[in-house]
Amino acid sequence: MNLDYIIIGFLGVSLVLLIINLIKRPKVNDKEINERLQKLELSLIKEIGEFKVGFANSLREDFDNLKENVERKLMDINNQVSERLDQSLEKTNKTFQNVLERLAKIDEAQKKIDGLSGDIISLQSILTDKKTRGIFGEVNLNFILENAFGNENNGVYELQHKMSNGYIADAILYAPSPLGTIAIDSKFPLENYEKMTNKSLSNSDRLIAEKQFKIDFKKHIDAISEKYIIPGETASEAIMFLPAEAIFAEVNAYHSELLEYAYNKKIWITSPTTLMSTLTVIEMILKNMERDKYAKVIHTELNKLSLEFSRYRERWDKLARNITSVNKSVEELNTTSEKITKRFDSINKVEVDKLLNEEEKEVEELGV
């Protein structure tokens, strides 16, 4: 509210009170009224001035207090805002740093993915050729055999073995009886498999590829059966190795007739995983056979040792009896020696009569 308005209001109230007071008082002359009015005017001016000064001072003091409170509140608010801004900035910096680190990892992973994509494309370009697919299968087979049995020189298997009929098997496994010698050949029917699993092709094209895949698969089974199962030279079974797990899974999941066909031809179809499992079982059998062989040797040696121990026991008993007899003879000799020693002592002391008496007592005791 404006200060002048307040003063005018206050002045109006004072005038009203003055008029009421004049009305209630007895009548006076004009001179006296003028004097009183002048005095009243002076008094009012003075009071109004004092009131204005006091009111101004009070307002100034209240305003200063209000200003101080407002400044203090603003300072507190500013401090709180600054603190929260610092905390938020710190959290934002940490979050931003984490984002940068993750972006760096994503970028690194992207580079690896790009490199892997290039490797996959390169591998696909290599596997499009039948010869390189065959080499890939042979290398994979060699790697599995080496991991299962160690070096080829240990005599458990042989790579690129030439059969008596002139064909060369990728590997020959000298398994224990009753398995015997097992031929392993790697096959990689990839082209028609890719076509029949390609969703972008039409159903008719995929069906044609599937039929051709089955035909090729059976040809591989027939070739292994004819080339690598030789009576008297190999076992009655052979192993067909598929270097791709996907092809093996496809055959086992959706083409049971191929499995039955291979079973009738006595061909075991394996993938890298199943071949490793099969070889692990064979390795355990070989180790058990070695252990059994050494166990027989140990048993034979223990039997021989048992015979030697029996002879040792018999000779020891004989020696113990001889030692007992010698001990008895030694005791008798000791007794005789004591008697002779006593006789010599008696003779030396000239106690012949006493000695004779003792001899007679001994004779009587012995009943002689």
CA distance 267 to 278: 14
CA distance 90 to 93: 5
How confident is the model at residue 368, as a pLDDT? 45
CA distance 31 to 29: 6
pTM above 0.75, yes or no: no
Chain segment 92-142, per-residue pLDDT in tens? 778 878 777 877 777 776 666 555 544 444 445 445 556 777 777 788 888
Residue 187, exposed/middle/buried by CB under 10 A (0-12, 13-18, 19+)?
Answer: buried
CA distance 251 to 134: 19
Q: Mind listing the pLDDT tens digit of every residue in the chain (368 residues)?
A: 455 555 555 555 565 555 555 555 555 456 666 676 677 667 767 777 777 777 777 777 877 788 788 788 888 887 887 788 778 778 877 887 877 787 777 777 666 655 554 444 444 544 555 677 777 778 888 888 888 777 776 778 888 888 888 889 888 888 777 778 889 998 888 888 888 888 888 888 889 988 999 999 999 999 999 999 988 888 888 999 988 888 888 888 888 899 999 999 999 998 888 888 888 877 777 776 667 666 666 667 777 777 777 777 777 778 777 777 777 777 777 777 777 777 767 666 655 555 556 656 665 655 54
Residue 70, exposed/middle/buried by CB under 10 A (0-12, 13-18, 19+)?
Answer: exposed
